[in-house]
Amino acid sequence: MFHAQSRRSWTDPEKVKLCTSTWGKPRAWQKKAEKAGEYESVFACSYSDFFLPEADEWRADAWTLIRETPNLIWQLASKRPGLIAERLPSDWGDGYKNVWLGTSVELKKYLSRMDVLRSIRCALRWVDFASTLEDLMPELSEHIGGFSWVCASGETGCNYVEPRTWDPQWARNVRDLCSKKGIPFYFSHTGGRKRYPDRLLDGVTHNGIPPLAPEVGENKPGGSEIMVAPNLSKVASSEATGE
């Protein structure tokens, strides 16, 4: 997980902290992956937003790093997809092969974020329903086209705030739609104030992710139950570990 980012405080959203503690690690990961002939995934700015205006001052350096690490598949997500197009590099074209663009949707009123992201050319487009705060059906079925990966979870509050209500049926509905559309589905965790939230949904661990390879392009979702290890994520096994 890549933490060179403008990071917003949980308790004070107006407070922004630049964290560069892992800024140099991706090049080491690239060398290792290239030598092994493999691809690794990097989820950037997990506590912030890669496309925030506050990140403008260092984003050009980040794009350079991304270009220099073709064996790393960068997962970049934004709650503000309207900011993305004007912050893409000049040589973006139809998208860097090693960048997956994503957005997050918590409520039906934010499904329009998916439509905005759909208008942006990229190698692979994904959506994270984290945290899901209401049933997104049936409207979701009208917005899912063009997306090749779906994630979902409940809310935990991360020990800072009381989590809002979560119903597992909301995740089931997303899972079932993905199954119908042939889209890999990844379920992060249930909702509630547990220190270690449950990753099981109806007794099953869902670790769906498209193959980590630049050849997998838009609208080519690939496999369904592929294990993703934390941090440096490798395509491993179709066995669900439940971790």
Write the pLDDT tens digit of every residue in 84-95. Answer: 999 999 999 999
Q: Is 40 exposed, middle or buried (0-12, 13-18, 19+ CB in 10 A)?
A: buried
Neighbours of 240 (CB within 10 A): 14
Q: What pLDDT shows up at residue 159?
A: 58
Residues of the chain below pLDDT 50: 1-19, 216-243
Q: What pLDDT shows up at residue 127?
A: 98
Contacts with 22 (C-beta within 8 Å, 6 or more apart), sequence order: 1, 2, 3, 4
Domains and CATH numbers, the chain: 5-205 (3.80.30)
Q: What pLDDT shows up at residue 75?
A: 95
Count of CA atoms in the C-beta half-sphere (13 A) of 205 = 14
Q: What pLDDT shows up at residue 45?
A: 76
Q: What pLDDT shows up at residue 20?
A: 52
